[in-house]
Chains A and B, each alone.
Chain A
């Protein structure tokens, strides 16, 4: 080892490690992107009960780092002038009182049942993984060709009495 190399190593390590008190550890960007995409849905979907009092609730079923990213992101965000609350639901929950229901990849087995139980409710079901919009989700987030892509089932969205903006339809693939 050369002394010069050792000096550089120590200097850069010290400069990095000692100045880290206000820094953020890196999170996986896929989940950051997922959280931000879910937030954007609040701008492109019309809920019929948006004038009702109370928080705008995003429910999450299953475990995913996307939950933590939503918690961080939505803390400072509003939807329809309301505070956004992230609420975790067990897969066998009796009811899903939320505007968006995010089903993680881990919990996808319950998608069909949850879609049936919420069929009459104004709930946008968003699921991780390709092919879920054909199985009951309103929109799924599919990782394909190194990008996250949207698969949108317009029929499912309308079944939940929601309106989707044409701009959002143009950004995804319609899989009715």
Chain B
């Protein structure tokens, strides 16, 4: 197995070799790639912005994919998350109708046996027009709160691998950047659509705008989505079965029950959301250009979210609004954004809070002769507060405090082209200072690309990125229950924040190849090795005693603690794009091997008051390694499109993964080899979409989702995902 030290050495040698060769041959060649291309080839160059600048996909220095609006519509996708199944390297599993677990290369369910909040994907940075929509509560993305719908999107760019030096903190394992549409021609802009389907699935959207000239345009859009679950029952840990309309649910320890409607006010609901947006683009006389977006959304979903101790599904409600201002003046570009609102991560009491995140970034593009440098500074402040919704004396809320996570970053990017642009070196490094844990963290990204010919490119990438701290781990102050254990003697469990927990981070080494053959075929190959560490989870730590009047209370604190475990993953992703005439085929496949090192299935330190703590604790797995069962070894998909005529388009697409085993915290609670463990079988989901265009701008479509009716659930004890039929109308002027 390749070690990171070996990879580092290899990279240094390769970089040094390339630089030396470039110095020797700089004057020998002055040809530029596009100058040697035929007109037909020039028209087939795909334009992307995967390294924060627009460029041809063939030239992109990172592992990147671009999913266009056309590709999404042709495939019959109904959500942004579902559309990501068309992207190589993505693991996308449906939890309930329209709610998905989205992973990039699948460093998922880590650490094993952890609560959902901890083991969810917190390492992929999702952005809308470069504005992060990261949740600082416990990390990750509340996908249902994205205010934009598919109709608002021009394309989705996915960058695989640590990219914090290019995109900021939390781009630990990659970036999903959603780019919104702009009016492409002067005059009226109008699009609308309506969709109806199985399981009470209704999606409506409308957008209207006007482009006054190439410099000024405005679009207002709105979207509505209503989906029901595919089954009425919920899995309960305590009774280890799915229960349809039970009188009550029982928690882990069997000492608390909840009325069903207390946890699930609307049991049938999977997604209920509506949102509105305004997009303005303008240019002032002094040469100041700007983009301005603003909007609001209301959403209620039932999905796997937080650990409620009764069932895996929780009712998550969010009301939020945002404003995003992006001015640019000559070489200076800025972004100022606000996102805030109220969320409840469970309908039960104690899960509601207010939040806002403000951020600003400024980037200057300095070019002097052959030198291009892009310095960038940024600031983010995330504030979460549940004091309005909780009794801070009883500490029965989620946080029971007001928490702030701040970060200040400085980044420097440089780029050179040698050998007539055949060799390209990119270096980016950033320092981020967080308020918690206090200190500076380094992120960097080095990439070298070399064009073997005008249509073939190899690249190497080495990068490292940290995840920021989150509010819950840093600030939580929560009473978890007490019981009398003697005369005036009590034992109590409390959740306590840890402002000094180390930041999880990941390093990547990658070798890639892109080639285009003839006009019909392109191949993309990625070989990657990832080393991730400094994971943390709440664990029981050393107890202490407090005196309260005449009572003595023995406190067992549950504290977020850095685990010794690491994750190592090596894999290969291959994707093809073949387009002979009206037929188009795009298959992609990832095969990977993921190992957990130094992991122990215990959630306590050696000095905690748990049985055999000295022998069985978070450190007792040091020296061990095992294949991580929760990440599929093999996954991928394909999209086949056939333009039957000018008015009829047929698309067949599929997504598949091999079997997995998910380990959830109930495995530690019950330790019976059953509860907390779910075997997810291998699955292939085949979809078809037929679009008929009776007149220009109007499209009718019918979609069959999961045509093989593979009915198995795709995520831990969540809902079955059966066949669905949908249809609708779209108008795009």
Contacts and interface: CB of A to CB of B under 8 A. Distances in A.
Interface residues of B, number: 63
A7 to B, nearest CB: 9
Interface stretch (B16-24, B236-244, B564-572): B16-24
B45 interface: yes
B417 A150 contact: no
Contact of B16 (A15, A20, A44): A15
Contacts of B48: 146
A20 B416 contact: yes
Select the residue from A21, A106, A146 with max chain B CB neighbours within 10 A. Answer: A146
Contacts, number: 145
A110 interface: no
Contacts of A143: 47, 184
Given A1-B442, A12-B15, A22-B27, A29 B55 contact: yes
Contact of B371 (A25, A29, A105, A131): A25
B417 A147 contact: no
Contact of A26 (B213, B415, B427): B415
Contacts of A33: 34, 42, 45, 56
Interface residues of A, number: 49
A24 B415 contact: no
Contacts of B94: none
B32 A32 contact: yes
A30 B424 CA distance: 18
A119 B412 CA distance: 52
Contact of A168 (B23, B39, B59): B39
Contact of A29 (B11, B22, B59): B59
Interface of B is mostly: mixed
Contacts of B38: 40
A129 B187 CA distance: 14
Interface in B1-56: 8, 11-12, 15-16, 19, 22-23, 26-27, 32, 34-35, 37-40, 42-48, 53-56
Interface in B406-441: 414-418, 421, 424-425, 427, 429, 440-441
A146 B66 contact: yes
Interface string B192-232: 00000000000000000000011100000000000000000
Contacts of B55: 26, 28-29
Contact of A145 (B23, B68, B462): B68
Interface string B348-383: 000000000000000000010111100000000000
B464 interface: yes
Contact of B42 (A6, A144, A148): A148
A130 B185 CA distance: 7
B40 A25 contact: no
Interface of B: 8, 11-12, 15-16, 19, 22-23, 26-27, 32, 34-35, 37-40, 42-48, 53-57, 59, 66, 68-70, 155, 184-186, 213-215, 367, 369-372, 414-418, 421, 424-425, 427, 429, 440-442, 444, 446, 462, 464
5 contacts: A22-B27, A26-B424, A30-B47, A109-B213, A146-B68
3 closest residue pairs by CB, A with B: A40-B39, A22-B26, A25-B372
